[in-house]
Amino acid sequence: MTSQITFYLSQIIGNDYISDDGTVLGKIKDFLIDQSNLPWNEAEPVRPRVVAIKVKKGKEVRILDFSSFEIKKFKRKLKITCLDVREVSPESFSNYLWLAENIQDKQIVDINGRKLVRVNDIRLVMIPSGTYAIAVDVGIDGLLRRIGIGRPIQSMLDPFSIDIPGKFILWDDIEAVDFTNANIKLSKSSSRLNTLHPSDLADIIEDLDKASRTYVFASLDEERAADVLEELEPRAQIQIVESLPVEKVADVLEKMPADEVADLLDALAEDKAEKLLEEMEKESSEEVRELLEYHNKYVGSLMSTDYYTFNENLTVSEIMEELRKQQPEPAHIYSIFVTDKNDRFLSAISLGELVIADPARQLKDIMKKNPISVFDDDKVDSLAELVSKYNLLAVPVINKDRQMEGIVVVEDIVDDLLSRRKTR
């Protein structure tokens, strides 16, 4: 046997396997790989090992230990020999996966390409230490090979110096999303999914079927799930919320901005929204309920309650120190808002203005004296012109007593007015 043999799953499935004396023992149906011992060091390549093989003779289907099989290549043809028939149980492996059943011809996540692709074939390599899955073929070449016409077509194209395009994705860079086998676990792939930007992961989840969409979302931790849920289209949001237990969804909603939660709940059936509100922590629930009271034509329906106010007598250095302690999300500090001793809104100071100001100066000395603001019961239509005219990133929202109720950020205005999809 040579030190290395590379082959494709399509070249094996359906082929006969023989005994050492050449007797045909049956046909090969599938390969089982074990993912339980994948490396956790990101620098090490992911190469799941083939540990068992599914074979069939007549109506009898058996699963045999792959270590007793030998593969040899003669003139582009593969000879599969079984040296010793030893049956094994898939359940003896903690994280197993059938290549033909669960990967081939299924959708997977291309981590580097940040998209869903369909697997046409699987590339494997046999070396002295074992046989390993190393890549998936998502190109036209793999598809033609699968249906048995790759070589004839390539022969026809050779005189014209045309090659059939192939495309391989290393096993390191894929994530299976067909979860019909309940034993499949995300394993190391879970950490790779977590490297994607929430909006990229949301795009991938939206392209999945309902069952896989719910499974992938449910596998995320609460913080990650909250970020992804914000990025999903309303229809996908609703489907996921309705598919998961109320307790799970409520935990995720508590990690989201109150205005985003209000938008989502407003699109749900009233009884479902009420169950989620009752399950959420009281403080979070009350904040959302207040936002739900606004009609979608008013500014209050668009505002976020994630903002930072500071008294006018504090110094710039005190504010910067406090922000470092609290470590707010960048999206929550477009500006800080200045209030008087009665918590009435006085002005807004952008983060940029704060950074370049003298650390010893008080906020009242550097703030604008004629700030722009809107009332929570102003019409939404008034926001676009205001933002455009004054080049604002966030607009403070106040009530009739000039106390702050929230802010409206420019992204929400764009979503609501330019795409004409009301964020309710």
Decide if pLDDT at 28 tops 90: yes
From residue 334, alpha-carbon distances to 13, 66, 236, 343, 381 in Å are 58, 59, 29, 20, 22
Q: What share of residues in the chain are helix, strand, coil (percent, to 5)? A: 40, 25, 35
d(CA 143, CA 165): 11
Give the gyration radius of the chain's Cα atoms.
30
d(CA 55, CA 259): 56
What local confidence, expressed as pLDDT, does residue 355 receive? 92
What local confidence, expressed as pLDDT, does residue 4 receive? 85
**Residue, of 109 and 378, whose pLDDT is higher:** 378
In this prediction, residue 178 has a pLDDT band, given cuts at 50, 70 and 90, of low
Q: What phi and psi values does residue 56 have, to the nearest 5 degrees?
A: -140, 135
What local confidence, expressed as pLDDT, does residue 186 receive? 39
Tens digits of per-residue pLDDT, 247-281? 999 999 999 989 899 989 998 999 999 999 999 99
Tens digits of per-residue pLDDT, 392-415? 888 999 999 999 999 998 877 766
**Cα-to-chain-centroid distance, residue 351:** 31
d(CA 424, CA 407): 15
In this prediction, residue 383 has a pLDDT band, given cuts at 50, 70 and 90, of confident
d(CA 241, CA 250): 9
- What CATH number should be reported for the domain whose range is 197-293? 1.25.60.10
Decide if pLDDT at 95 tops 50: yes
What local confidence, expressed as pLDDT, does residue 116 receive? 75
What does the H/E/C string look like for 305-349?
Answer: CCCCEEECCCEHHHHHHHHHHHCCCHHHCCEEEEECCCCEEEEEE
Query: Which region among 105-119, 120-134, 218-232 has the lowest average model confidence (pLDDT)?
Result: 105-119
d(CA 38, CA 198): 25
Q: Which two tokens stand for residue 376?
A: 């929570």
Q: What phi and psi values does residue 358 have, to the nearest 5 degrees?
A: -65, 120
What local confidence, expressed as pLDDT, does residue 41 receive? 53
Decide: 286 and 258 in contact? Cβ < 8 Å.
no
Query: Which region among 119-123, 134-138, 403-407, 414-418 has the lowest average model confidence (pLDDT)?
Result: 414-418
Percent of the chain with pLDDT over 90: 44
| Bridge partners, residue 80, by sequence | 71
From residue 97, alpha-carbon distances to 11, 40, 139, 350, 362 in Å are 19, 18, 22, 53, 63
In this prediction, residue 420 has a pLDDT band, given cuts at 50, 70 and 90, of very low
Query: Which region among 126-130, 154-158, 372-376 has the lowest average model confidence (pLDDT)?
Result: 154-158
Q: What phi and psi values does residue 190 have, to the nearest 5 degrees?
A: -60, -40
**Residue, of 262 and 216, whose pLDDT is higher:** 262
For residues 157-182, average pLDDT: 65
Tens digits of per-residue pLDDT, 271-307? 999 999 999 999 999 999 999 999 888 999 888 888 8
What local confidence, expressed as pLDDT, does residue 169 receive? 82
Q: What is the mean pLDDT of the chain?
A: 84
pTM check: above 0.85: no
Residue extents of the structural domains in the chain: 5-176, 197-293, 309-418
In this prediction, residue 207 has a pLDDT band, given cuts at 50, 70 and 90, of confident
Decide if pLDDT at 190 tops 80: no
From residue 88, alpha-carbon distances to 67, 68, 100, 152 in Å are 11, 11, 18, 39
Write down the architecture of domain 309-418 according to CATH.
Roll (3.10)
Q: For the chain, how long is the longest CA-to-CA vector?
A: 95
Residue range 5-176 in CATH 3.30.9.30: no
Answer yes or no: same fold for 197-293 and 309-418.
no
